[in-house]
Structure 1
Amino acid sequence: MKFSKLIKMAVSSVLANKVRSFLTMLGIIIGISSVIALVGMGQGTKQDVASKISSLGTNLITVNIMGRRSVTVTTAELNELKKKPGIKDIAPSASQGSVTVKSGSSSKSTSTSIEGCVPSSATIRKLGVSNGRFINQDDVDSRYRVAVIGTDAADTLFGSTDIIGEEINVNGSIFSIVGVLATQGGSGQDSPDDKIIIPLSVAQRLFKISTIRTFYVEAEDENSVSEAKAYLQIFLNNKFSSDSTGSTNYRIMDQSTLLATATSTSDSMTTMLSGVAAISLLVGGIGIMNIMLVSVIERTREIGIRKAIGAKRMTILIQFLLESAGISTFGGILGVLGGYVAAYVMKTFFNTSVVISTNVVLMAFLFSVVVGVVFGVYPANKASKLSPIEALRFE
């Protein structure tokens, strides 16, 4: 029998039971859609993170002090560090998470992160303002209670970003808003769009923070990053001795380190989520095998008649394999369409960045076809081995 005729027979068999075939495909459809959408979301997140990290500049170094609180870094020491070759400027920071902030003109409130900054934070960390101004040196020296607010926090508290001169209440202290940060994207309290920035000196007094545990270093240029990190390493090694386990009490990260960490985390999450989605494909494969076994039982007499009039075992085997492959192929096509629809929904309604790769789509589709073939082997083999005499006796 011609191969083209076998294909037509397989397609006709699949279409003869549309509802059953669709329900059989459902596991494949869900699996393919999930893999495409989740991998696309992971790739989109990776690109967003890489873009945001790159936008901060390739010469930014972040230092976090951990461990014992009795040993600290002072402002005087940071000023001395600024004189080292390769180091252009340093901006200390002090932050407090999950602080309840209320708007002065209404009863609206939000829980967000408050960060104490110095004027150089704006240039070192690329913290631009879309309205008003940033913290200046006079604010820090005089401990003025002024604030620069992120766009998301502004929308939550006031429903607008045109709020220069408005007041907010932070832990019972009233702050006047002097600026609104430019939108940078992201979500959560650590997002610049959701945080509130006040003078460093005010933050230290308000939250009783007497130490500097985070500071940002701007190297002269990208080529000076290694030199600047070397001086920071020497300074911090002299300042903080290793603990009993040999680990240090500080962490130095440049943009390449942050990017590698973020990429690794994103890849791990994408792999894990894709693995979960791939389980649906396996479940779909089991469903195909079950239905094909039922089909073999239902068509036992048909198989017997065909064998009795000369149909070869290989012909029967190929037909049933084509049927199972057809189900998984149709399911794969619908799954790909479902993946694109899911990506569109995530982009449009959830503001999630999704990047769908053609390679991922092709691999997911081919995997669905392979699943259909693999799980169709046993039913097809069983059908091809039926004895025509026994098959014709089957009721």
Structure 2
Amino acid sequence: MKFVNLFKIAIAAIKRNKMRSFLTMLGIVIGVGAVITMLAIGQGSNESIKSSIASMGTNLINVMPASRNKGGVQQGRTSSQTLKEKDVAYLKKNSTLLEAVSPGMKGSGQVVYGSNNWPTEISGGNEEYAQIKKYEISTGRFYNSQEIKTAAKVCVLGQTVVENVFGVGVDPIGESIRFDNIPFKVIGTFKEKGNNTFGQDQDDMILAPYSTIMKRITRETHLRDIVISAKDENQIDEASSEIETLLRESHKLKDAEDNDFEIRTQDELISNFGSISEMMLVLLGSISAISLVVGGIGIMNIMYVSVTERTREIGLRLAIGGKGKDILMQFLLEAILLSVLGGLLV
């Protein structure tokens, strides 16, 4: 039989059982739709994570104290006091691949203004901190090097703190707030950044000179971390190696001694989250593929019923000279048409 005739017969068979054919195609529609939706969600999530991390700066490098092991017990980074102000000065003086270097301090508590209060955290850095972290000034100004030297009680607020402490649309410049019973003068506000990759509100923060936080809030002599931006995002690995070399020199570590600090880059974060996203993508694709398999089984069952119903027709075709392969091609073509039509409906 000619292919055109087989095609016409397949179309006629589908038209004869419109409802059954529609329900069969519906299984394919649901299966293909599930695959497309799940893959789109997985891919979109992956791109969103990469974009969120990249928004913090693709040339960002974080140096943190290494976890301490005392008596066989892991003490954690917070108990480690390996990073000092002299390390920041040493990196600035001797590095060739670093654009900006800032100490990092952090504390948490209640910010109070009049009868309003809000639980938040206060971060500290030098005059290059906002540049490294990609924070932009909305109103007012950023603190300067003189205010850092004198441990001035000045701060810049994120929009979440402004809205919850002062109210929406209120300009807080020049006002005084209290954090941990320490008065701070508001000299600026940041533009809104939104949530980061981990779902943390990047606008729920106060930024002050790191020296102020060290002397007046945490009362610590060591740094929580060091934040760095490389000159070229294509030289992140080289910059990381340079940082490691310089910090080992600054800490006077011997060749046999392990680093007492850890270096993390945005590339590592993107790689780690990318691996997780790819696993989720495969998992979602596998789950949605089950719907497609179910749709295929539906077509198989319908074709089995169709063959059973049309045994007389098949016998007649064989009696007048039809071949087995022609009969097989006829039903196979019907199954293909049902699948294609179902896919086109998505």
Q: TM-score range by the shorter chain?
A: 0.7 to 0.9
The aligned residue for residue 139 of structure 2 is: 131
| Residue in structure 2 matched with residue 261 of structure 1 by the alignment | 272
Contact 2:112 2:165 (C-alpha < 8 Å) held by counterparts: yes
Q: Could you tell me which residue of structure 2 aligns to residue 390 of structure 1? A: none
Equivalent residues in 2 for 1:48-59, closer than 5 Å: 48-51=48-51, 53-54=53-54, 56-57=56-57, 59=59
Match of 2:287 in 1: 276
Aligned partner of 1:93 in structure 2 is 104
Cα 1:4–1:78 change in 2 (3 A) is same
The structure with more strand, counted as a fraction of residues: 2
Distance 2:310 2:117 in 1: 69
Structure 2 counterpart of 1:306, from 317, 321, 328: 317
TM alignment of 1:283-362, pairs within 5 A: 283-335=294-346
Cα offset, 1:91, TM superposition: 1.6
CA–CA separation in structure 2 for the residues paired with 1:291 and 1:100: 67
**Distance verdict in 2 for CA 1:248–1:83, change over 3 Å:** closer
| Partner deviation per Cα, 1:222-255 (whole Å, 9 max, x = no partner) | 576555423321345564989xxx9866432334
> Are residue 198 (structure 1) and residue 230 (structure 2) matched?
no
Q: Is 1:146–2:160 an aligned residue pair? A: no
Q: Counterpart of 2:331 in structure 1: which amino acid? A: F
Distance 2:233 2:333 in 1: 58
Number of residue-to-residue matches in the alignment:
328
- Matching residue within 82, 90, 94 for 2:92: 82
Q: Distance in 2 between matches of 1:297 and 1:207?
A: 82
CA contact (8 A) 1:94 1:115 kept: yes
Stretch moving more, 219-228 or 322-331: 219-228
Q: Which residue of 2 aligns with 1:363?
A: none
Question: What amino acid does structure 2 have at the position aligned with 1:294?
Answer: V
* Structure 1 position 181 matched with structure 2 position 166: no
Question: Match of 2:207, SS?
Answer: strand
Shift of 1:146: 3.2
1:9 aligns with 2:17: no
Separation in 2, partners of 1:61, 1:316: 68
- Contact conserved, 1:114 with 1:198, CA < 8 A, in 2? yes
Q: 1:153 to 1:187 in 2, by over 3 A?
A: farther
Instruction: Say whether residues 1:34 and 2:34 are aligned partners.
Output: yes
1:12 maps to amino acid: A
Q: Which moved more, 1:190-199 or 1:156-165?
A: 156-165
- Counterparts of 1:378-393 in structure 2, within 5 Å, are none
Letter in 2 for 1:9: I
Distance in 2 separating the partners of 1:215 and 1:267: 31
TM-score of the aligned structures, taking structure 2 as reference length = 0.73
Q: State the 1:108 CA deviation.
A: 9.5
Secondary structure class of the residue paired with 2:93: coil
Report how far residue 138 of structure 1 moved. 6.0
Larger CA deviation: 227-236 vs 324-333: 227-236
Counterpart position of 1:373 = none
| Secondary structure of 2:315 counterpart | helix
Q: Secondary structure at the match of 1:198?
A: strand
Of 84-93 and 320-329, deviating more is: 84-93
Sequence identity percentage: 36
Instruction: Describe the shift of the 1:334–1:186 C-alpha distance in structure 2 as closer, same or farther (beyond 3 A).
Output: farther
| Alignment deviations for residues 35-81 of structure 1 (CA, whole Å, 9 cap, x no partner) | 32333344444444545555555543222334122342112222222
Match of 1:128, as an amino acid?
E
Which secondary structure does the structure 2 equivalent of 1:318 belong to? helix
Determine which of 65, 69, 83 is the counterpart of 1:73.
Answer: 83
Amino acid at match of 1:197: I
CA distance in 2, matches of 1:50, 1:262: 8
In structure 2, the gaps of 5 or more residues are 69-78
Distance 1:310 1:281 in 2: 37
Unaligned runs of 5+ in 1: 336-395
Bigger mean CA deviation after superposition, 45-54 or 82-91: 45-54
Aligned CA distance change for structure 1 residues 52 and 310 (closer, same or farther; 3 Å): same
Q: Bigger CA drift: 38-47 or 64-73?
A: 38-47
Amino acid in the other structure paired with 2:295: G
RMSD of equivalent CA atoms: 4.0
